[in-house]
Structure 1
């Protein structure tokens, strides 16, 4: 009796190792990419992936800024936001149109519209014209808002713009103009959803 059993062929070579390496890479590479974006990616890169406006960093705190004293009269309840339109010079027709557009944006927000207030800030009131319901003729406030907006935009202080003010007295986002009302609405809805108190 002879036992002529041959050993079973072994699977050797490169294929199993390559498969194992591919499986490990499938799990490790996404973790490394996420770590790179969180730790190494330069600040500001990808900031426009979700937001349409520009963040003001650090936020402008009107409670601790003497130039902003007139805005402290504009009180907001917890969870409320204000859209502040600022313009240099007097609050003329363009100022009123901007306030009207912001009011239209607020209206289409839906059920959270009651949590949004609108104000306009200019150097002076118009001569004999009308002004938005919440209007501040305060050149120092307007200049301070424009300076904060200029910092967010990385340049000179713009003559006009829209800023978001939260209930804690923090001005934290800037829109250089009103050419993207859908973007303003999207950012506002996101902020309202994130700050809902009940």
Structure 2
């Protein structure tokens, strides 16, 4: 399912069989994450020797599987990059990939299609409907940033509460909070489906009483 909030263009997907229970985590939460760390958590290992060695080292360091440390996304991303580098030669010589007969000519005019693929940022889901001329009439796209959107909000909230003291919001503190969502490699243009040409951002800082004490604009 997809949850909507009035303060954001981005939707917040959740596990439908669990339901939306707000911006909370834990076993009873419908919030989930995708991308490198999620893939490694779900895998049994890597298919190349060097990547497998680093895979084992990461989980040994982090205390086993599954690992939920947000900054470990960077580590997982490096392991996947190492796997890609090792496997590049094999893919470049794969007979199915280099076969010139790769195009399938359609025998009918399709009017609807759904594609799901794992991209570096995470799962991409594209759903299109077209008219008889192939003109798109409806499109629904769920990208990795949307899948991770609820988790990003949770992480930012926790980082802000831990780092901001007495309303003191210095540049260095903001950079540390930013590390939370940078780990997900987000693309908000993709996630919001909005390209106004600029990104007007207003960040309101509240104290423990819920009183606004500062406003930051880009």
Answer whether TM exceeds 0.5 for this pair: no
TM-score, normalised on structure 1?
Answer: 0.23
Larger-Rg structure: 1
Instruction: Specify which structure has the higher proportion of helix.
Output: 1
* Structure with more relative contact order (C-alpha pairs < 8 Å, separation 6 or more): 1
TM-score, normalised on structure 2?
Answer: 0.21
